[in-house]
Amino acid sequence: MIITNNEEALRVVCSDVLPDEVNDIIERLESELNHANFLGQNGVGLAAPQIGIAKKAAIVRVGNNNINLINCNISQGWDPAVFEGEGCLSFPGRVEKTTRFQEVLIENNLVMPNRMIITGFLAVACQHEIDHYNQKLFTDHIFKDRIKKLKPNDICGCGRLNEKTGLPFKYKKCCGKKI
């Protein structure tokens, strides 16, 4: 069963997967992902901590791409971008705008190939799942607009100067003035 809406349970410290554990964990992840999709949840990946297994394992299943992420890390990322519409099976119905790399180099020492460059949507999905076993959630990557909200004593953004002093107006005395 997939753990939902419980950040504490999802941010568990995970240990490396041992070679003799790989097949069992992959089978359990595939079973749970298939069940979620059967219920109409439309997931493309799942990580072991999401089903209560504190191991560094995850799967991504997109079309014909079946990626097993066992003891992987992202050693490099390129082209950070805003990704519209990232969701998570552990937070049903929640969709966020996130920042993710468009291309990543994934490395591991257990499963071949041991170095992969992944791009596009697959890169986003792999980052998401690897984050799960590194105690991170997609909510940690929510895009925050860089537009600063002005406070009353900040200098007004319009640039208008006080005729008497030659200094810029404070926001509360200019564009923020209550009418």
pLDDT digits (tens, 9 = 90+) for 97-143: 999 999 999 998 666 668 889 999 999 999 999 999 999 999 998 88
Q: In this structure, are 104 and 152 located in the same domain?
A: no
Mean pLDDT score across all residues of the chain? 88
Q: Is the overall model pTM greater than 0.85, yes or no?
A: no
Q: What tens digit of pLDDT does each residue of 44-92 get?
A: 999 999 999 999 999 999 999 999 999 999 999 998 888 888 999 999 9
Output 73-78 pairs: Cβ under 8 A, ≥24 positions apart: 73/106, 73/107, 73/108, 73/130, 74/101, 74/104, 74/105, 74/106, 74/126, 74/127, 74/130, 75/105, 75/106, 75/107, 76/104, 76/105, 77/101, 77/103, 77/104, 77/105, 77/127, 78/102, 78/103, 78/104
Is residue 79 in some structural domain?
A: yes
C-alpha pair distances (Å), 44 with each of 39, 67, 73, 87, 114: 13, 10, 19, 10, 22
Residue 179 has pLDDT above 60, yes or no: no
Out of 7, 21, 129, 163, the active site residue is: 129
- Residue 165's DSSP bridge partners are none
Residues 80 and 34 in one domain: yes
Q: Which of 147 and 17 is assigned the larger pLDDT?
A: 17
CB distance 43 to 37 below 8 Å:
yes
**Which DSSP helix (H) or strand (E) runs through 98?**
strand 95-107
Mean pLDDT, residues 139-152 taken together: 73
User: Does residue 176 register a pLDDT over 90?
Assistant: no
Is the torsion defined by CA of 145, 150, 155, 156 positive or negative? positive
Q: Do 131 and 171 belong to one domain?
A: no
Does 8 participate in catalysis according to the annotation?
A: no
Q: Residue 54: which domain range?
A: 7-141
**Taking 60 as the threshold, does the pLDDT of residue 147 lie above it?**
no
Give a yes or no: residue 1 inside a domain: no
On whether both 115 and 43 belong to a single domain, the answer is yes
Instruction: Give yes or no: residues 51 and 98 share one domain.
Output: yes
Find the mean pLDDT for residues 17-39: 95
Quick one: pLDDT band at residue 146, thresholds 50, 70, 90?
Answer: low
Cα gap 11→49, rounded to integer Å: 8
pLDDT at 159: 63
